[in-house]
Amino acid sequence: MIIAIDGPAASGKGTLAKRIADLWRLPCLDTGLLYRAVARDVAVAGFRLDDTWAALAVARSIDPASLCDPELRTPRVGDGASLVARIPQVRAALLDYQRQFAAQTGGAVLDGRDIGTVVCPGADAKIYVTARADVRARRRYNEYVARSEPVTYEAILADIQKRDERDASRDSAPMRPAADADLLDTTDLDIEAAFDAAVGLIKRKIGQ
Ligand code: CDP
C-alpha cells in the first residue's frame, strides 16, 4: 500500500506521515529532506543555489545516510531547498530514488509536495494536509523554540509564506492537491485529532 501525504510548509504532514507509517508498519520517507540535503550540499560546495549543474551533480550523488543531519531542519536550509526544488533537472534526479522507495514490498508512506501528483500518482490513498498560515507558523515556531533555534514567529511566518508561494508557482511539479486527494484541514485539530481524521480517510479509500 502506498500512501501519499502532501501539503504546504509546516502543515504537520511529516508528523502525520510517521504516525501513519507506524500504524500500518510501513517505511516512511520525508522527501523534503532530499531537497534540503541538495541545498545544504550545494552551499557547502560553494555554489549558488540557482546553479543548475552544481545542484544536479549534488542531487545525483545524495547519500540517504546523510538525511538525519539536524542542520537540514533549519529555516536557512528550508529556504534553500525551495530554490533548488524549482530546478526540473534536480527534481528528475530525485525521482528514481523516491519511486524506488515507494516500490518496496508492502509499500511505503511518502510526504512532500508532489507525491500524489508526480511521484506516486497511483498511490492507494492521498491526503493533502493544510492549515491556516498563522497556525502553521505557530507550530513551527514552537518546534524551533524546543530545539533552541534562534528564531522569531514573524520570521517563520514570512518564511513559510514565501516558500508556499514559490512551491505553488513553480513550473516543475508545483505544490497542489492531486485531483483524487482527500483534503485535511488541521487548523482546529491537534495532532491526535488530525491523526484520527487521516486514518479515517485512508481506511475509507482502501476499503478497510
Ligand atoms: O517541513 P516543511 O514542510 O517546512 O518543508 P519540507 O517538506 O522539508 O520541504 C522543504 C522544501 O523542499 C519545500 O519548501 C519544497 O520547495 C521542497 N519540496 C519539494 O519541492 N517537493 C517535495 N516532494 C518535498 C519538498
d(CA 80, ligand 1 centre) in Å: 10
d(CA 91, ligand 1 centre) in Å: 12
d(CA 57, CA 143): 32
Q: Is 7 in the pocket of ligand 1 (CB under 6 A)?
A: no
pLDDT digits 0-9 by tens, 78-117: 999 999 999 999 999 999 999 999 999 999 999 999 999 9
21: left (phi over 0), alpha (psi -120 to 50) or beta: alpha
d(CA 176, CA 179): 9
| Residue (of 2, 15, 1) closest to 129 by Cα position | 15
Q: Is 186 in the pocket of ligand 1 (CB under 6 A)?
A: no
Q: Is 82 in the pocket of ligand 1 (CB under 6 A)?
A: yes
Q: Is 114 in the pocket of ligand 1 (CB under 6 A)?
A: yes
- Supply the mean pLDDT for the chain: 96
d(CA 96, CA 72): 21
- Which pTM value belongs to this model? 0.96
pLDDT digits 0-9 by tens, 130-147: 999 999 999 999 999 998
Q: How far is CA 159 from CA 61, 100, 137, 144, 165, in A?
A: 28, 31, 9, 13, 10
Residue ID of nearest Cα to ligand 1 atom 15: 82
